[in-house]
Amino acid sequence: LAASLLALALRGGEALIDTPIAEDGWYALTIARNIATGHGVTIDGETWTNGFQPLFTFLQAFGFLLAGGDTMGGLRVFYVFAALVHIAGALLVASLARDASDTDKDLAAAVAALGYLAAIKAYNDFYTGLETGLQLALYALVWRLHARTWRGRAGREAGLGFALGLLVLARIAAAVFVAVLCADELRRGWRAPADAVRRCFVVGGVSVLVSAPWWLYNA
């Protein structure tokens, strides 16, 4: 399944520009190509825009840069990157299923990975040119990190904050998720409020620092 997803990048020219890339995906891909070719964060080479989700688009821009600004080459790099994100998400979901299973952990992990890779919904959403696949992979990463023993461990608290910052850059609306997570941490730590506030300061603060370039760009 993973190999078949990677093979999307090997299709011919007409198929390469067809589905599953969507109309909104072309908008993001065009911005990415303009960034790579030195035309700035623009949709038409002149008009600056913020109407896109930054992390995936800038990663796509790196793909076009690797392809020397060539549209077809950049699309091939995009498909490879989207497939790798899809595969990484499957591995993360498999690890979550393994931890959650009380019986055959290997089987639970295998079924989760298979379902994630084979789902038609995932294929239709992850290769549109938009950030959906990266967003879900990062949610799985945050879940994985949060499920570990992280409270009171500075490195792991900062790591969780870093992953949350990447999630916000992948989908700006995830800033609400970060706020809710910090609020829940305060609720959980009401018996030791000083420690709870410190944890929220570390996790939320690192998240804000990581996503700060986007907020500054929009200021």
Peptide bond into 20 cis (omega under 30): yes
Model's pTM, two decimal places? 0.93
Q: In Å, what is the CA distance from 132 to each residue of 2, 14, 78, 190?
A: 18, 24, 14, 35
d(CA 103, CA 49) in angstroms, rounded, equals: 51
Q: What is the pLDDT of residue 68?
A: 93
Which residue from 31, 5, 20, 15 is spatially nearest to 125, judged by alpha carbons? 20
Residue whose entry in the numeric block shows the structure tokens 């011919």: 12
d(CA 128, CA 141) in angstroms, rounded, equals: 22
Q: What is the pLDDT of residue 25?
A: 94
Residue whose entry in the numeric block shows the structure tokens 């992850």: 126
CB 131 within 8 Å of CB 53: yes
Mean pLDDT by 10 residues, the chain (219 residues): 93 88 93 95 92 96 94 95 97 96 94 96 94 97 92 92 98 97 92 92 96 95
Helix (H) or strand (E) holding 202: helix 193-218
Q: In Å, what is the CA distance from 212 to each residue of 52, 53, 125, 144, 206?
A: 16, 14, 27, 24, 10
d(CA 132, CA 125) in angstroms, rounded, equals: 6
CB 38 within 8 Å of CB 44: no
Q: What is the pLDDT of residue 13?
A: 82
3-state helix, strand, coil in the chain (%, to 5): 75, 0, 25
Q: In Å, what is the CA distance from 16 to each residue of 11, 36, 81?
A: 6, 20, 14
Query: Which residues have a Cβ under 8 Å from the Cβ of 219 and sit 6 or more positions away?
Result: none
Q: What is the pLDDT of residue 14?
A: 85
